[in-house]
């Protein structure tokens, strides 16, 4: 079965990313090192929503899509939570 020219062209421009790479990018975004847009630029990820799709699928923060936009569930990032816990520990001492 022959593929149309559009299918051949589309396939040749799409990149495939390994699961390890996707999880690495997700971790950097979720830990607050990069925004999803910064991750796209840093790693040359082509699709506008590719990183967001990965976060929705593999992320641990309950990424959701309210009002047509992707956002992180409310709550502190792991970095913020660690900072807060360190402050509380110092106060307790």
Range of the domain at 31: 17-92
What percent of the chain stands above pLDDT 90?
A: 17
Give how many domains the chain has, as a whole number.
1
Q: What is the pLDDT of residues 36-81, one digit of tens each?
A: 899 999 999 988 889 988 888 887 776 655 544 445 555 667 777 7
Residue 4 lies in a domain: no
* 1 occurs within a structural domain: no
Give me the helix-helix angle, 36-43 and 19-30, nearest 10°.
140
Burial class (CB within 10 angstroms; exposed 0-12, middle 13-18, buried 19+) of 29: buried
Question: What pLDDT score does 60 carry?
Answer: 75
In a domain, 3, yes or no: no
> Could you say which DSSP state residue 64 is in?
B
């Amino acid at each position: 079965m022959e593929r149309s020219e559009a299918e051949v062209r589309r396939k040749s421009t799409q990149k495939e990313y390994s699961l390890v790479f996707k999880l690495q990018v997700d971790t950097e975004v979720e830990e607050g090192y990069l925004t999803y847009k910064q991750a796209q630029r840093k790693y040359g990820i082509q699709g506008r929503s590719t990183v967001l799709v990965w976060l929705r699928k593999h992320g641990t923060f309950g990424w959701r899509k309210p009002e047509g936009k992707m956002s992180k569930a409310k709550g502190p990032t792991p970095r913020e939570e660690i900072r807060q816990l360190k402050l509380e520990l110092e106060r307790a001492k």
